Amino acid sequence: MEFQLKKRHPIISFGIGLYCAVIGIVIAWLLFPSNTGIVSVFFTSLAMLPFLKKLLPLDSITRNKKHPIKFKNPLYYLKKFLNFHKLTMEYKNIFIIYIMLFFGIFLVYTVFQMNLPGPMAESFFVEQTNILRGSAGEAVLGYADRPFMSASISLNTFIGIILNNLVVLMVAFVISIVYRAGIFIIAWNASVWGVIFGSALVESSKLLGQNMAFLFVLSILIIVPHMVAEAFAYICGVISGSSVYITLWRKLTEKQHAVIITDAIRLLILAGLFIILASLIEVYFAFPAIKLVLWAS
242 φ, ψ (degrees, to nearest 5): -65, -35
3-state secondary structure (DSSP) of residue 38: helix
> Is residue 200, in this structure, part of any structural domain at all?
yes
**pLDDT score of 42 more than 90:** yes
> Is residue 2, in this structure, part of any structural domain at all?
no
Give how many domains the chain has, as a whole number: 1
Helix ranges (H only) for 5-64 are 10-31, 36-52, 58-62
> Is residue 42, in this structure, part of any structural domain at all?
yes
- Domain range holding 197? 10-296
pLDDT at position 21: 96
> Is residue 3, in this structure, part of any structural domain at all?
no
> Is residue 95, in this structure, part of any structural domain at all?
yes
Lowest mean pLDDT among 69-78, 114-123, 159-168, 219-228: 69-78
**pLDDT score of 143 more than 70:** no
Q: What is the pTM of this model?
A: 0.82
Residue type, 21: A
